[in-house]
Amino acid sequence: MFTKFYKWLIKLASLRNFYFFAGKLIPWFGWSTLILMVVGLYWGLVEAPTDYQQKDSYRIIFIHVPAAWMSLFIYMMMAFSAAASLIWKTKASEVFANSCAPIGAIFTFLALATGSLWGKPMWGTYWEWDARLTSELVLLFLYLGYIALQSAIEDKRSAARATAILAIVGVVNIPIIHYSVEWWFTLHQGATVAKFDKPSMDISMLIPLLIMATAFKLYFFTVVLMRSRNEILERESHSNWVTEEKERL
Amino acid sequence: MTFSEFLYMDGYYAFVWGSYALSFIVMLAGFFGPMRRRKQLLKQLGRKKKRGQRT
């Protein structure tokens, strides 16, 4: 079983196989994103009850929290993928890590922006230099640094090595973001869902939140595969199979 | 709940709809950007191929 999986992984590591495999997955991810997004939005904006304390302003949660979760999840995906390219020198993992960065930056930006729009009515300020907000801002800079470094180095292979080291070092920020609300005094509330105890959130609000989180995750997989395919086309523009693919379309 | 009540969001309409609209625009751009890039790349590949045939 394991050797079979291992063989499959090695096959997938070739850019050509990765390109076609991703092409098969994209429509599935894309359409399920759309369906879950519509269900989650309806449920979150219409069906879910109004919060007794925050009234309807709490509805920002249905994008803020999934976006923040994605900002961390994508970083871990990017770092693991970058580590794989550092260890095994697989091109497919280089391409995947590069494709993660812009989407991660998008979600980090959205987590910060929607948090800011939520903070104004609830805390009375758009921005506060506290632990959670600052460490999330550092995450945005890590993503932007990754993108800048990657585009600054001409040779793709050496760019991949440099960015992989940046991505791996940056992992230290991930637990800091997660535990910042416990370690330091902060305006931001503590974890409500991702903790060992029972989530302190009513099921009528938790379900749409989890649906939106799944939709965001599927969105990420859709876009990361689209981006990977583009980068593969760019890198392999001289290979025969790309020309054949072009003729097929 | 009436539709105008829904839009009003207990007075938080600017913040709630602001965040939803912003996320909608950004995520849509994040999707259509790579889509357009793919079309561009395939066009470039086509040109490269034609050039190759001529020489």
Residue A96: per-residue pLDDT: 96
Residue B48: per-residue pLDDT: 67
> pLDDT category, B51, cuts 50, 70, 90?
low
Amino acid (1-letter code) at residue B55: T
Rounded Cα gap, residues A77 and A96, in angstroms: 9
* Interface test with chain A among B17, B20, B23, B38, by most A beta carbons within 10 Å: B23
Rounded Cα gap, residues A180 and A209, in angstroms: 22
| A51: its two tokens | 């919060």
Rounded Cα gap, residues A151 and B38, in angstroms: 19
Rounded Cα gap, residues A131 and B31, in angstroms: 32
Residue A27 contacts B where some CB pair is shorter than 8 Å: no
Average pLDDT, chain B: 85
Question: Distance, in angstroms, between B55 CA and closest chain A CA?
Answer: 16
> pLDDT category, B55, cuts 50, 70, 90?
very low
End-to-end Cα, chain B, rounded Å: 70
Rounded Cα gap, residues A144 and A138, in angstroms: 10
| A199: its two tokens | 């989530």
Residue A60 contacts B where some CB pair is shorter than 8 Å: yes
> Per-residue pLDDT for chain A (249 aa), expressed as one digit of tens each?
778 887 777 777 789 999 999 999 999 999 999 999 999 999 988 888 888 878 888 899 999 999 999 999 999 999 999 999 999 988 999 999 999 999 999 999 999 999 999 988 888 888 888 889 999 999 999 999 999 999 999 998 899 999 999 999 999 999 999 988 888 877 788 777 766 666 778 888 899 999 999 999 999 999 999 999 999 999 888 888 888 877 777
B55 Cα distance to chain centroid: 39
Sort out which chain A residues have CB atoms less than 8 A from B49's CB and list them.
Answer: 243, 246
| Owner of token pair 């583009």 | A230
Rounded Cα gap, residues A216 and B40, in angstroms: 26
Residue B50: per-residue pLDDT: 63
The yes/no answer to whether this complex scores an ipTM above 0.90 is no
Residue A125 contacts B where some CB pair is shorter than 8 Å: no
Rounded Cα gap, residues A28 and A98, in angstroms: 22
* Interface test with chain A among B7, B12, B22, B47, by most A beta carbons within 10 Å: B12
Rounded Cα gap, residues A44 and B25, in angstroms: 19
Query: pTM for the whole thing?
Result: 0.91
